Amino acid sequence: MSGPRVLERFWEMGADAGWTGIEDAVAAAEQLVGKPIRVREESFLADEPVCGFVATLEHQHLVMISPTPSPTFRAFVIGHELGHVLHGHQESAPQAAAIRALIPDLPQYKVERALARGLFENEYERQAELFADRLAQLIRGHRERPSPFRGVFG
């Protein structure tokens, strides 16, 4: 399964299962892409201009996020990176090439999303941000108690 069908199926799964946390979405995405998605907090990102990025490796997608005390913000960043994975942005050579041209000494595993959160003129970033917004809304809609998302995102 690929392309728009993956996204369509992802949203169907979320609505049917009534996801109440980001972990539910990560598990569904793993099932759809056919390989593990590992989420790790990385302290080196605390001093970087990005909140997170995804490195697509042969046997897994590795989502690295900046440490944060906010579970709401953590979930949103993970959702943004899941958007990149499910949209298939890792398959775009021009994205990686543009970053490589700007920062030639950046290690390859950092290249794919090294500038991700700051480049909102980039269509990939707009797609990932809209994906994260929609995912936050879906999760919030299935919670019985008020979500911290309401205080931050309305």
Residue 154 lies in a domain: no
DSSP single-letter state for residue 36: -
H runs (alpha helix) in 1-154: 4-17, 22-33, 71-87, 93-102, 108-111, 123-141, 148-153
Mean pLDDT is lowest, of 17-31, 98-112, 122-136, for 98-112
Nearest to 65 by CA among 87, 85, 50, 83: 50
- Please write the tens of the pLDDT for every residue from 27-38: 999 999 999 999
Give burial (CB, 10 Å; 0-12/13-18/19+) of 135.
Answer: buried
Look at the chain and report how many structural domains it folds into.
Answer: 1
- Where in the sequence is the domain holding 90, given as residue range(s)? 4-142
User: Cα angle vertex 95, ends 90, 97, to 5°?
Assistant: 115
What pTM value is reported for the model?
0.78
